[in-house]
Amino acid sequence: MAEQTVKKIATREGYGEALRELGAEYPQLVVLDADLAASTKTAVFGKAYPDRHIDCGIAEANMMGVAAGLSLSGMIPFVSSFAMFAAGRAFEQVRNSIGYPHLNVKIGATHAGVTVGEDGASHQCNEDIALMRTIPGMVVMCPSDYVEAKAAVRAAIEHDGPVYIRFGRAAVSVINDHPSYHFEIGKGTIVRPGADVTIVATGICVDSAMGAAKLLEADGIQAEVVNICTIKPLDEQLIVESARKTGKVVTVEEHSVIGGLGSAVCDCLCANLPTPVKKLGMQDVFGTSGPATELVHKYGLDAEGVYKSVKEFL
């Protein structure tokens, strides 16, 4: 398929669309936002179901508690804000008012990672996966494209318990639009088989990993690309099997290399099959303002950057 014909759409668009679809099936679905409904795409739901769209204003801490209370009233709340505020500012509310009582609250956090772009470091959340993973019982997902975003939202509503889903602002290639696509919480997928190196990626970096794999193929290197949408619980079996086959693992995420996918993969391999791992992501630095594509390039998270890092590692 020629590059220019690949459809590009942001994962947050899939979030809004999935909520709208689920609104008809689940009368107990209620969506909360904190003055960002147009950006998080919950406005799509709000337009269809205005009585079940609660704008809490710019007050994320309270919003998390309100969601907890709604959940205890038998509703299924999806709570939205930018990842910085949902996972960052309101961390302790998510931990104590949602995680500790293990309530059926879903957090849809958009504008995660550096692809927030021009807004800069203050709004580029590279820490949310790390924060959310530490909460016992919390499911953490990061969909790779529009199709997976919709599937993850549906899986989240069908799951009983707290779920954190991370969405991006920027348009990304649709890579899962095929009939055999199947989504299950906790299951990763091999999107490209290979025997020389494993590239484990999450979110928008799955597309970069696929691009890198193509470039590596030209050099005679067969990379196996593993898409990990559910970072917690991690598909340990898939990762261990792939690592056993290739012997070398590279992780790619639009997130700090501390505490995110890379750390989760290392935790898994340390315990099960010690394997050399190179973690690509934000290398303990804050982001900066700029267009999303240029930032992804600057931090080595585009196909070319991943390709170069894999070559260095091998």
Partner 1 sequence: MLNLELKKRANDIRKGIIEGTHSAKAGHPGGSLSAADVFAFLYFEELHVDSAKPDWEDRDRFVLSKGHTAPGLYAALAHKGFFPVEDLKTLRKLGSYLQGHPDLHIPGVDMASGSLGQGISAAAGMALGAKMKQKDYRVYTLLGDGEIEEGQVWEAAMFAGFRKLDNLCVIVDNNNLQIDGPIDQVCSPYPIDKKFEAFNFHVINADAHDFDSLRAAFAEARATKGMPTCIVIKSIKGKGVSYMENNADWHGKAPNDAEYEIAMADLDKIEKELAEEANK
Binding residues (CB under 8 A) for partner 1: these are 30, 51-52, 54, 56-57, 59, 61-75, 92-93, 96-97, 100-102
Least distance (Å) between residue 91 CB and partner 1: 11
Q: Which amino acid is at 309?
A: S
**Residue among 100 and 313 whose Cβ is closer to partner 1:** 100
Say which of 3, 21, 25, 60 is annotated catalytic. 60
Least distance (Å) between residue 163 CB and partner 1: 18
Least distance (Å) between residue 159 CB and partner 1: 19
> Cβ(184)–Cβ(157) under 8 Å?
no
Distances (CA, A) of 139 to 112, 142, 194, 237, 266: 17, 10, 29, 17, 19
**Residue among 120 and 161 whose Cβ is closer to partner 1:** 161
**Residue among 77 and 203 whose Cβ is closer to partner 1:** 77
**DSSP line for the chain:** --GGGS-EEEHHHHHHHHHHHHHHH-TTEEEEESS-HHHHSHHHHHHH-GGGEEE--S-HHHHHHHHHHHHHTT-EEEEEEEHIIIIIITHHHIIIIIITTT---EEEEESBSGGGGGG-TTT-B-SHHHHHHTSTT-EEE--SSHHHHHHHHHHHHHSSS-EEEE--SSEEE----STT----TT--EEEE--SSEEEEE-TTHHHHHHHHHHHHHHTT--EEEEE--EEES--HHHHHHHHHHHS-EEEEEEEESSSSHHHHHHHHHHHH----EEEEEE-S----SS-HHHHHHHTT-SHHHHHHHHHHH-
**Residue among 84 and 155 whose Cβ is closer to partner 1:** 84
Least distance (Å) between residue 73 CB and partner 1: 2
Whether 60 sits among the annotated catalytic residues: the reply is: yes
Least distance (Å) between residue 135 CB and partner 1: 13
Least distance (Å) between residue 74 CB and partner 1: 7
Task: Assign residue 161 a region (left: φ > 0; alpha: ψ between -120 and 50; beta: otherwise).
Answer: left
**Residue among 95 and 187 whose Cβ is closer to partner 1:** 95
How many whole angstroms from its chain centre is CA 54?
24
**Residue among 75 and 132 whose Cβ is closer to partner 1:** 75
Q: Which residues are the active-site residues?
A: 60
